[in-house]
Each structure stands twice: as C-alpha cells, then as structure tokens.
C-alpha cells in the first residue's frame, strides 16, 4: 500500500507601494484600515505570541477564525498563523495557514512581499461539485492577486474603482 503525502502550498506575491516603509507598516497593523483592504477585522495587539480574533466578511456573512502573532520586527516583518474555518480542516497545528509580510525599502517607496503557506484542503463533494485539495491554494492566490492592489491603493490614497467598491461594501456591511 502506498501513501500519498500532501504538502503545503506556498503562495508568494509582491507589490511596490509609493510610500515610505513606516506608512505601509502602519496600515498593515491598523485594525480599521484592515476592515477595508482585508475585508476582515483582526482583533490583536500585534505582539509576538498574542492571539488574533479574526472576523472575516464575505458579503453580509461573517466568519470567525482564530490565530496567533508569530513575529513582529517593526517595520520590516510581520508574521501570523490562523485557522480559516472555511477550509474545513481540523483545529490542529498542521491545519493553520501562515502569512508573512516582508517590507523592503526601494527607490520609489516600499516593496511588500507576502508569503502565505496553505495546507491542502480536504476533498468535499456536493450535488454537482467537488472541491479538491488545491482549492485553498487557488483561493489564496486569487485573494492576494486582488487584495494587494487594494492595499496599495488605500496606502497611496488612489481612489481606484475597486477600492471605492470595497469601501462602499465595508461601510454598508457594518452600517457605518
């Protein structure tokens, strides 16, 4: 009998932001701004070892996740792990995703690199669909492709159509 070993996927993306390192860092850890670019509320003090209570918003639904701050080296590295409930994975250490932000000064401002480690998703089937082990990886890759430009636009104060829609949706969802 042979065993199949599934390995975590690592999604790595980056974006250049035309503002100094400290301004990018400030937005990464700002709870209210996180509601806009993450579409999630991160309740934490951003100290290593601290817990993170995450409320993610998708439309008018919210999902509660939990996590822990792993590393804080201001203003260059921020890392945390979390268990996304939507993954369907059990609450064991190997089910947690890890996100690491690395900020590097560049001539035009700051380069933000994000690395997101994603465990394989369980296979789920329903009427007319099947979600495979790569579904989490694909979702995370899509998430960062769309989220990093929102974050850049928010920091640079570019009122792009995507950012305007996100701000309007966040305001509407929370009745602000």
Q: Distance from first CA to last CA of the chain, Å, rounded?
A: 58
Give me the pLDDT at residue 2, please: 47
Burial class (CB in 10 A: 0-12, 13-18, 19+), 85: middle
Stretch among 4-8, 42-46, 50-54, 82-86 having the lowest mean pLDDT: 4-8
How much is the pTM? 0.86
User: What number of other Cβ atoms are within 10 A of residue 31's Cβ?
Assistant: 12
pLDDT at 172 over 80: no
Per residue in 45-81, pLDDT (tens digit) is 999 999 999 998 777 788 899 999 999 999 999 999 9
- Sequence-separated contacts (24+) of 47-55 with Cβ below 8 Å: 47/72, 48/72, 52/80, 52/82, 54/82
pLDDT in tens, 115-169: 999 988 777 777 877 777 677 788 889 999 999 999 999 999 887 777 667 667 6
Q: What is the pLDDT of residue 144?
A: 94
φ, ψ of residue 161 to 5 degrees: the values are -55, -40
Across the range 10-21, mean pLDDT stands at 96
25, 42 Cβ separation under 8 angstroms: no
């Amino acid at each position: 009998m042979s065993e199949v070993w599934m390995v975590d996927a690592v999604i790595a993306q980056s974006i250049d932001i035309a503002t100094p390192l400290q301004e990018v860092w400030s937005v990464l850890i700002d709870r209210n701004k996180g509601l806009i670019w993450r579409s999630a509320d991160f309740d934490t003090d951003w100290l290593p070892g601290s817990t993170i209570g995450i409320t993610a918003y998708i439309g008018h639904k919210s999902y509660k996740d939990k996590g822990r701050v792993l590393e804080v080296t201001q203003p260059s590295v921020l890392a945390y792990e979390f268990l996304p409930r939507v993954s369907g994975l059990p609450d064991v250490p190997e089910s947690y995703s890890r996100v690491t932000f690395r900020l590097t000064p560049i001539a035009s401002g700051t380069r933000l690199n994000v690395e997101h480690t994603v465990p394989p998703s369980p296979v789920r089937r329903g009427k007319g669909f099947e979600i495979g082990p790569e579904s989490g990886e694909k979702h995370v890759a899509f998430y960062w492709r769309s989220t990093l430009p929102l974050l850049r636009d928010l920091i640079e104060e570019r009122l792009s159509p995507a950012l305007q829609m996100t701000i309007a949706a966040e305001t509407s969802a929370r009745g602000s």
